[in-house]
């Protein structure tokens, strides 16, 4: 039975790729939360508001919204954002 399960899992991984069942706890670094798959090492983005993984579409949408908020002329940022060059916060 164990051998059958190993063969089945190998066939699924070969056809569909990793299922990302074994992951780390969520980490948040520079306002992006993610988990890491322990089997393949892929970074899986995570929403702390909904407590679930983000799809690629949701991730692109959030990044576009963040970039639009930062690039809008004359509009102050909605919160204090970390300055990537010095590691300090820039006040709004």
Domain containing 37: what range?
20-72
In the predicted structure, residue 88 carries a pLDDT above the cut 60: no
Residue 44 within a domain:
yes
Number of structural domains the chain divides into? 1
Mean of the pLDDT values across residues 31-57?
A: 90
What's the pLDDT score for residue 74?
61
Q: Tell me if 78 is assigned to some domain.
A: no
**Would you say residue 55 lies in a domain?**
yes
Is 68 among the domain residues? Answer: yes
What integer best gives the mean pLDDT of the chain?
78
Average pLDDT over residues 67-80: 64
48 within a domain of the structure (yes/no):
yes
Exposed e or buried b per residue across 8-36, where buried means at least 16 C-beta atoms within 10 angstroms of its C-beta: eeeeeeeeeeeeeeebeebeeeeeebbbb
Closest CA relative to residue 35, chosen from 14, 49, 16, 21: 21
């Amino acid at each position: 039975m164990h051998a059958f399960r190993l063969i089945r899992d190998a066939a699924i991984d070969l056809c569909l790729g990793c299922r990302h069942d074994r992951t780390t706890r969520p980490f948040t670094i520079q306002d992006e939360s993610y988990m890491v798959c322990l089997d393949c090492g892929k970074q899986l983005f995570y929403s702390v508001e909904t407590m679930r993984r983000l799809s690629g579409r949701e991730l692109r949408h959030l990044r576009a919204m963040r970039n639009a908020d930062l690039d809008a002329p004359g509009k102050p940022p909605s919160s204090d954002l970390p300055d990537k060059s010095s590691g300090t916060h820039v006040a709004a």
